[in-house]
Amino acid sequence: MAPPVDSSQPRLAAGCRWGKQGDEPVVLFPEGMIRVQGTGQSVLELCDGQRSVEEIVGVLAGRYNSADPAKVREDVRAFLEALQQKRIVDY
């Protein structure tokens, strides 16, 4: 599948959800889990199926105001595409 576009509305895929391992947030899915920290966690928390990629990039660029929005956009798209391949995110 192609990378997400600006209007895509990413969300956790069916059967994937947040959980906790001890105090650390993890994303659980069939037969596995991933630990998410830092920016990855920030991106995924914004993926609620409502916000578009453009809006997610806007929130993140605002939060880290030194970041170049074009670079943030590329990073977010690559991150979401990789998680879609693993069927953790859909958009």
Partner 1 sequence: MIPNPLALIAEITHRCPLHCVYCSNPLQMVGAKTELATEEWLRVFQEATRLGILHLHLTGGEPLARTDLKDLVEGAHAAGLYTNLITSGIGLPESRLQALVEAGLDHIQLSFQDGREGPANWIAGAKAHAHKIALAPVIRRFRIAFTVNLVVHRHNLDHLEEMIAFVEQLQPDRMEIAHAQYYGWALKNRDRLMPTRAQLENCLRIVDAAQQRLSGRMRIDCVVPDYYARYPKACMGGWGRRLMLIDPSGHVLPCHAAGVIPGMQFDNVCHHPLEWIWNDSPAFRRFRGEDWMPEPCRSCDRRAEDFGGCRCQAFLLTGDAAATDPVCSLAPTHGVVESAQLRANSGEAQPAAWSYRLNPE
Residues at the site binding partner 1, with contacts judged by CB under 8 A: 1, 13-17, 19-22, 26, 28-31, 33, 84-85, 87
Q: How far apart are CA 56 and CA 45, in angstroms?
A: 10
Closest to 4 (Cα-Cα) out of 67, 80, 65: 80
Nearer Cβ to partner 1 (72/88): 88
Q: What's the closest the beta carbon of residue 23 comes to partner 1, in angstroms?
A: 12
Beta bridge partners of 18: 27
Nearer Cβ to partner 1 (21/63): 21
